[in-house]
Amino acid sequence: MKHAKKVVLAFSGGVDTSACIPFLLNEYGVDEVVAFAADLGQGDELESVRQKALTAGASQSLVDDLIKPFIEEFAFPAIRANALYEGKYPLSTALARPLIARRLVEIAREVGADAVAHGCTGKGNDQVRFDLAIGTLAPELKVLTPAREWTMSREELITYGERFGIPAPVSKKSPYSIDLNLLGRSIEAGSLEDLSLPPMEDVFQMTSSIEKSPEKFDEIEILFENGNPIAIDGIHLDPVSLISKVNILAGRHGFGRIDMIENRVVGIKSREIYETPGLLLLIKAHQELESLTLPADVLKTKLNIDRQWAELVYQGLWFTPLKNALDGFIERTQNDVNGSIKIRLHKGNMIIIGRNSTNNSLYLSDYSTYGNKDKFQHQLAKGFIYIWGLPSRIWAEVNSRKELK
């Protein structure tokens, strides 16, 4: 029985999605597969990816440049939300999935497909992100998931693909699984599954090792407007160019490497290696500027909102009412997040060395100073402390009476 007549497949050219094309045609009995690859700034020669899909049996192979919406509609909101999953991961891969899903649905409607497909495995997070996004945006479309149904190992998949003329994308002796876009790289599998070993240096491409990073530090200044980074060292840049430049500046000093044990949506723990030099630096700089420009109660509330925002995105819940509501809160807070943060980069570290917000800084020197210009009314502190501590003293008095009885 046919699952569908015409399918649009999210295609990356990797082991799983490459095998998906012949599998859909031969095992599922699909009439036609349209492959879609998203250019997210990964720097690959996507023409070879497009041709690879045709070689594998796709009737059409489409490549769309989605770099601009990826940065403006997904990366910049993540910066404003200080989005770090489990306090570490800047969501470089997770942020790409709702965008790819959105375009996948659009293409399916344009070509008259009755289904979409992806090559995500059953133990990964991306299957959740794609399935939920597609189900929300186009509940009428079937979602086919060959990688959740076949029983082939990674090595067997490579061999299966070779039967249909698909070249192996990675060495069978070093089968890293890598996802790459302009925001960063995620690396897993292979020797990284041995938790007792550090990652080999061949894992990294966007960041220098500490040993090979420059001996002399660099200092840069990031200017923010309404929570968005807009300039580096006084030079205004468009969002894509800004991310690209910060990647280079931070990466050459070895900043942005993450080696973490991550809690996946499906309930297992996995070891993930990330390189996110630019995005991680911008998030940390943005956090620092918020500490200067937002009131304490707003910061405290936003800390929880930011954590929840990151979890929703990681869990594939981008297109949901709760995510939209959190966006509204975050957007309102960013009206006052204007100013610049000066950073020193050296040997894997970013150090905040300067903060400035001419119109929105809540740090007032005549209240904070201990010098002769101090305007703080010290004599009022006694009454404040009396009222502030009254509940604790009442509690202590009541309990002391109990002990006397």
CATH number of the domain that residue 188 is part of = 3.90.1260.10
Query: Which one of 316, 334, 356 terminates a domain?
Result: 356
143 shares a domain with 23 = yes
Main-chain dihedrals φ then ψ at residue 108, nearest 5 degrees: -55, -40
Active site residue 126: yes
* Tens digit of each residue's pLDDT, the chain (405 residues): 456 899 999 998 887 888 999 999 999 999 999 999 999 998 777 888 999 999 999 999 999 999 999 999 999 999 999 999 999 999 999 999 999 999 999 999 999 999 999 999 888 899 999 999 999 999 999 999 999 999 888 788 888 888 888 876 555 444 578 889 999 999 988 888 999 999 999 899 999 999 999 999 999 999 999 999 999 999 999 999 999 999 999 999 999 999 999 999 999 999 999 999 999 999 999 999 999 999 999 999 999 999 999 999 999 999 999 999 999 999 999 999 999 999 999 999 999 999 999 999 998 888 887 888 888 888 888 999 999 999 999 999 898 887 776
281 shares a domain with 225 = yes
* Residue 1 in domain: no
pLDDT in the model for residue 166:
84
Query: Which one of 148, 175, 202 terminates a domain?
Result: 175
Q: Given the residues 59, 177, 244, 270, select the one marked as catalytic.
A: 177
383 shares a domain with 338 = no
- Identify the CATH number of the domain in which residue 159 sits: 3.40.50.620
Q: Provide the residue type at 303 as one letter.
A: L
Main-chain dihedrals φ then ψ at residue 368, nearest 5 degrees: -90, -20
230 shares a domain with 184 = yes
190 shares a domain with 49 = no
| Total tally of structural domains belonging to the chain | 3
195 shares a domain with 240 = yes
* Residue 305 in domain: yes
Tokens of 184: 């960063």
Asked whether 251 and 277 are in contact (CB, 8 A), the reply is yes
170 shares a domain with 69 = yes
pLDDT in the model for residue 359:
94
12: containing domain: 6-175
Active site residue 16: yes
Q: Given the residues 12, 61, 92, 97, select the one marked as catalytic.
A: 97
Q: Could you list the beta-strand ranges (E) of 146-245.
A: 177-181, 184-188, 218-225, 228-232, 235-236
* Residue 204 in domain: yes
pLDDT in the model for residue 306:
98
118 shares a domain with 266 = no
Active site residue 97: yes
Q: Given the residues 12, 80, 126, 336, select the one marked as catalytic.
A: 126
186 shares a domain with 118 = no
* Residue 90 in domain: yes
